Structure 1
C-alpha cells in the first residue's frame, strides 16, 4: 500500500466523520428534536414533575430491590404503577412523552435510511456490542 493510498483513505475517513457531524447537526434542527428538547426543559423546570419523578424512581428502586431479594409483592408493584400514572398525568409529562415518542419514530426512520445501504442496523450497531 502506498502513502498516496493511505492519504486517500484518511481523507475518506475524515469525509465520513464530517458527514456524520453534519447529520447530527441536521437532526438537532428537525422539529421533532426541537420539540423534545423544549419538553425536556419544561419537565426539568417543573417542580411538581421533579417531585413525582423522584417519588416514582424511589418506588421503582424499592421494588427492584424487593424483587431481587425475593420479597416483591403485588402491592409494591401497584404503588410503582400508580406513581407512574400520577407522573404521566401531568400535562408537562404528557407533552414530554409524546415528544419523545415522536422523536423516536423519526430517528427510527432515519436509522432505516442509513442502515439500508449498509445492510446492517446502524443504530443498533452503534448502540453497543454483542448483539445477536
Structure 2
C-alpha cells in the first residue's frame, strides 16, 4: 500500500473516532440505549413492526385496505409520541444533520457526493 493510501485510510479512522466524540453521536447512543432498555417502548416497536409486516404482506397479495394502513399509521404515531422514542428520533435527526454536514465538507472538493454516490456504480 502506498503512503498516500495509508494516510487517507488513517484520516478515515480518525474521522470515525472524531464522529464518535461528537455530542450528537453521544446523545444518539444514549437515546438508543434508553429505547433498547425500555420494555414499554420495545413492546410498542414490536406491535408496530407486526402491523407493518402484516400490511406489507397484504399489499403484496392485493388484500391491503385503508383500515390496515390506518392501523399501521396509528401504531407508528403512538410509538413516536412516547417520550423516550421521541428523544431517540430527535437525537437521530440531529446526528443525521451533522453527518450530512460532514459529507458536504468531504464532498466539496470531489466531483461526487461522497456519502451518497462514491461507492455506487453506473448511477444516473
TM range, smaller chain = over 0.9
What are the ranges of 5 or more consecutive residues in structure 2 without an aligned counterpart? Answer: none
Give the one of 73, 84, 95 matched to 2:76. Answer: 84
Give the one of 42, 45, 58 matched to 2:37. Answer: 45
Query: What displacement does 1:89 show?
Result: 1.1
1:1-132 equivalences under 5 Å are 10-126=2-118, 128-132=120-124
What are the ranges of 5 or more consecutive residues in structure 1 without an aligned counterpart? Answer: 1-8
Alpha carbons of 1:98 and 1:17: their partners in 2 closer, same or farther (altered >3 Å)?
same
* Root-mean-square deviation over aligned CA pairs: 1.3
Highest Rg: 1 or 2? 1
Provide Cα deviations, 1:83-121, integer angstroms capped at 9, x if missing partner.
001111110000000000001111101100000111210
CA separation in 1, counterparts of 2:31 and 2:81? 15
CA separation in 2, counterparts of 1:16 and 1:103? 24
Q: What TM-score comes out, normalization by structure 1 length?
A: 0.90
Q: What TM-score comes out, normalization by structure 2 length?
A: 0.95
Q: How many residues align?
A: 124
CA separation in 2, counterparts of 1:74 and 1:58? 17
